[in-house]
Structure 1
Amino acid sequence: MRFISTEGRTPPVTFGEAVLEGPAPDGGLYVPERLEPLTVADLDVLSAGSLADIAQSLARRLFGSELPEDELASLLEDALNFPVPLVEIEPGVHCLELFHGPTLAFKDIAARVMSRLMSRITTCERDTTVLVATSGDTGSAVAHAFSGLPGFRVCVLYPRGLVTGAQRRLFTTLAGNVTAVAVEGAFDDCQRLVRRAFADEDLRRTRPLAAANSINIGRLLPQVFYYFHAWAQLARTGRQEGSAALVVSTPSGNFGNLTAGLIARKLGLPIDRFVAATNINDVVPAYLESGRFLPRESAATISNAMDVGHPSNFARILHLYSDGGDTLTALRRDLAGRAFTDRATRAAMRDVYEERGVLLDPHTSVGYLGLKAELKAHGGTGIVLATAHPAKFAEVIRSAVGIEPPAPQALLRCADLSERIVGIPAEYEALRDVLTGGRH
């Protein structure tokens, strides 16, 4: 398996090289050079497997053969050691609960796989700094995945005041090799600083860096696993009528999660249509409607992990659909864009709880709204990806639903721990100072 850059100006590399490189040298993002579709027999095998079984079957196809089979199997078993159940919300609408990992968010799955892959792949004699920008959940997932791992340090950038207290405490209370950096700005500023660091050749000569956002192909590809897992669970329940279309709604911010779903479809996963469900930061739904991609400054919402005005993974989506035909037409065939306000998000959280007894975090609520709108327009059976535990958004739950969400142990454990935070302006020299040891 070889990987190429979306910009097309970097020679193909191996999976290990792509994982350690992060962004490609030409400024693009790595994507698989070729995706070989699964056969009907392959799908039959996958439909009967657990998440770990599915991951092991797909990993060789997606990662190549750089790791021995038994080592890869052990790695995946260790990383994917928590449940990812598919739960029915109402007839025809199902929820894939991706929040049962150590930091209560879907990012745990890919971050844990990536950290274990990087630990086995890296040959660097000096500590590698894993640099990550977070709009909510990525930072804690990556920090926990690499916490205490020999040979690695973690630097998490987040926009000060724009993540919830629960999200923040999950990574600011970690000691040892994790540094939390509060940036005076928005998530897009954090991403800009990360991109600048990776482009700083002088810095990278002295301080090895690794990317842990979904710009890293090693963080993105493991997300393919749970799309197959959702489909397999639905198939075993028999709740999808034979001719009904399968629609999957993905809450979308930086669009790595949706990119993984579209890769799964290219591999042959029988999903008929996806919904890119966003809040008012709707540059991709707007592109699907107008044909113009117009990034802009992000706006703060209650679904803060989706507050992204320039989603970097959209370049990968365009590359997936640039096979000689009309890219926009092909995308519109597989993907619908739906955007919702905070008011609509809160109303859906309240209604689903009152009518079904199910608590949704604000991101999953956006996904639910997108799914319901698409099913109303075109019919079918639907799955929404539940990306975070409701308790991480207790304040929003209290105002929207009127109850206090039960706090899981992962949040209770860090509630009284001291936080370690380095504050910086949204300026690259300030980040460089942190990375080179001037501030910590």
Structure 2
Amino acid sequence: MKLYNLKYHQEIVNFEKAVKLGLGQKQGLFFPVELPAFKPVELLKILNMDFITRSTEILAKFIHHEISKKQLHQHVQEAFSFTRPLKVNITKNIDCLELFHGPTLAFKDFGARFMAQMILLMNKKHESVTILTATSGDTGAAVAHAFYKMQNVRVIILYPKGKISYLQEKLFCTLGENIKTISINGSFDDCQKLVKEAFNDKKLKELIGLNSANSINISRLLAQICYYFEAFSLLSEKKRKNLVISVPCGNFGNLTAGLLSKALGLPIKSFIACTNSNDTVPRFLSSGIWSPNKTVSTISNAMDISQPNNWPRIEELFNRKQWNLKELRFGSVSDETTKNALKELFKLGYTSEPHAAIAYQLLRDQLKQEEFGLFLGTAHPSKFKNTVEKILNHKIILPNALKNRINLPLLSYNINPDFKKLKQFLLDQ
């Protein structure tokens, strides 16, 4: 697999190099030189496969001969060794795809665990690796648990202090061992900026073997394609014909993966890019002007991102496939509307959480009569227990993944959004 740097096209690397580097020169994202596609006959065949076998075929389509299919199958099986995505019927023309049945109760488990398997496979010389990543909530837990106690791998996770849920924090800030967590006195965008600054420091990068596990890493992105195929396989022929998928968006990695599944040949009619009040992309799609506002805190905190990292990949894909960006549906939802959507879902017999509620609301509003809609359930409602219970006046029972960590002490450090302080931490710890 060859990938080029979106900011510096002369930089072309293979899959292994892209995984190890995370970001290219000039902080550029890596993007596939070739965009493979399944023929209609191949598509029908793989849709009838089990989740692990199909996922191996999808990933092999990109990775080619760098990893044998046998090896790839073993690592996919290890990465996705938890309950596969579940489809839940909400109304006669809307389903929810639950992606939160992994060890950290969020869709991020798919990408983080596959990346960990790839790092394990590629680190043949047992060199020391430092994974530096920023999280707005769920990425941190998924990455921490995926790499927990992995030899020669140190993980540093930055998150905005007071701006992720208490239970989200408990899930990844109580591990210790090779997992270091730092609360930053600022927003997620401040955390993301610090990560980019670290990658811009060539000496530091080489000295500590720096890598990132954000959705900027191509391995995470490719892994997420797999559950879009799983979603499609779970639907009847009738529902597949006019399928619209509604995606809660933060850094836009999830939507990028969905669009790549379409590029691979999955006949999805349309996607809805859903945001909360941090609506840089919806405003851009309306006006053509990229104008990020200051990030505001919402009850859907994992989407509190004003400068989404993956948006350049989406623009590149639309350009390469000669798709019209105006055909991408979009919308933003306020906290008040999010609360109402949660209540509406609850009346329909489904307990959800703020991120999925936003995707449901925009899907319900934009779905046409002849279409069938699927919205992504990206996190277990228990991760937002206090918020959901207050809105619904309904008790949420904690699953064991959270119950076992709730009384453990937080092990986080705290710093201001100052790169010099972060650099010192990276060198000292």
Q: What is the TM-score with the length of structure 1 in the denominator?
A: 0.95
* 1:263 maps onto 2:260 in alignment: yes
Secondary structure of the structure 1 residue equivalent to 2:89: strand
Structure 1 position 12, deviation (Å) = 1.3
* Correspondence list, 1:113-124, <5 A: 113-123=114-124
Secondary structure of the structure 1 residue equivalent to 2:65: coil
Provide, for residues 234-258 of structure 1, a one-character-per-residue CA deviation record: whole Å limited to 9, x for no partner: 13xx5617xx511000000110000
Provide, for residues 27-49 of structure 1, a one-character-per-residue CA deviation record: whole Å limited to 9, x for no partner: 21001111122111111112212
1:392 alignment partner in structure 2: 383
Q: Do the aligned partners of 1:10 and 1:25 also contact (CA within 8 Å) in 2?
A: no
* Correspondence list, 1:157-236, <5 A: 157-235=158-236
Structure 1 position 289, deviation (Å) = 1.1
* Correspondence list, 1:39-438, <5 A: 39-83=39-83, 84-123=85-124, 125-235=126-236, 238=237, 240=239, 244-323=241-320, 330-333=324-327, 335-354=328-347, 356-376=348-368, 379-437=370-428
The separation in 1 between residues aligned to 2:42 and 2:321, in whole angstroms, is 28
Q: Do the aligned partners of 2:36 and 2:62 also contact (CA within 8 Å) in 1?
A: no
Secondary structure of the structure 2 residue equivalent to 1:11: strand
Gaps (5+ residues) in structure 2?
A: none
Structure 1 position 9, deviation (Å) = 3.5
Secondary structure of the structure 2 residue equivalent to 1:263: helix
Q: Do the aligned partners of 1:10 and 1:24 also contact (CA within 8 Å) in 2?
A: no
Secondary structure of the structure 1 residue equivalent to 2:9: coil
The separation in 2 between residues aligned to 1:416 and 1:75, in whole angstroms, is 33
Secondary structure of the structure 2 residue equivalent to 1:156: strand
Q: Do the aligned partners of 2:27 and 2:199 also contact (CA within 8 Å) in 1?
A: no
The separation in 2 between residues aligned to 1:27 and 1:383, in whole angstroms, is 34
The separation in 1 between residues aligned to 2:86 and 2:50, in whole angstroms, is 11
Structure 1 position 159, deviation (Å) = 0.1
Structure 1 position 91, deviation (Å) = 0.8
Structure 1 position 414, deviation (Å) = 0.4
Please tell me the residue identity of whatever aligns with 2:175. L
* Correspondence list, 1:14-25, <5 A: 14-25=14-25
Secondary structure of the structure 2 residue equivalent to 1:62: helix
Provide, for residues 311-361 of structure 1, a one-character-per-residue CA deviation record: whole Å limited to 9, x for no partner: 010010111112396x7xx1122x11111000000111011112x211111
Q: Do the aligned partners of 1:182 and 1:424 also contact (CA within 8 Å) in 2?
A: yes
The separation in 1 between residues aligned to 2:221 and 2:125, in whole angstroms, is 23
Structure 1 position 379, deviation (Å) = 4.2
2:11 alignment partner in structure 1: 11
Q: Do the aligned partners of 1:80 and 1:109 also contact (CA within 8 Å) in 2?
A: yes
Structure 1 position 71, deviation (Å) = 1.3
Secondary structure of the structure 2 residue equivalent to 1:274: strand
- How many percent of aligned residue pairs carry the same amino acid? 37
CA-based RMSD of the aligned residues comes to 1.4
Q: Do the aligned partners of 1:10 and 1:26 also contact (CA within 8 Å) in 2?
A: no
Please tell me the residue identity of whatever aligns with 2:340. A
Structure 1 position 287, deviation (Å) = 1.3
Q: Do the aligned partners of 1:105 and 1:388 also contact (CA within 8 Å) in 2?
A: yes
Q: Do the aligned partners of 1:364 and 1:387 also contact (CA within 8 Å) in 2?
A: yes
Secondary structure of the structure 2 residue equivalent to 1:323: helix
The separation in 2 between residues aligned to 1:436 and 1:307, in whole angstroms, is 30
Secondary structure of the structure 1 residue equivalent to 2:167: helix
Secondary structure of the structure 2 residue equivalent to 1:298: coil
Structure 1 position 92, deviation (Å) = 1.1
Greater mean alpha carbon deviation, residues 61-70 or residues 361-370: 61-70
The separation in 2 between residues aligned to 1:310 and 1:296, in whole angstroms, is 9
Gaps (5+ residues) in structure 1?
A: none
Structure 1 position 122, deviation (Å) = 2.5
The separation in 1 between residues aligned to 2:196 and 2:64, in whole angstroms, is 27
Q: What is the TM-score with the length of structure 2 in the denominator?
A: 0.97
The separation in 2 between residues aligned to 1:365 and 1:324, in whole angstroms, is 31
Structure 1 position 124, deviation (Å) = 5.2
Greater mean alpha carbon deviation, residues 365-374 or residues 60-69: 60-69
Moved over 6 A (4+): none
Greater mean alpha carbon deviation, residues 79-88 or residues 305-314: 79-88
Q: Do the aligned partners of 2:5 and 2:30 also contact (CA within 8 Å) in 1?
A: yes
Please tell me the residue identity of whatever aligns with 1:28. G
Provide, for residues 393-413 of structure 1, a one-character-per-residue CA deviation record: whole Å limited to 9, x for no partner: 011111211112111010001
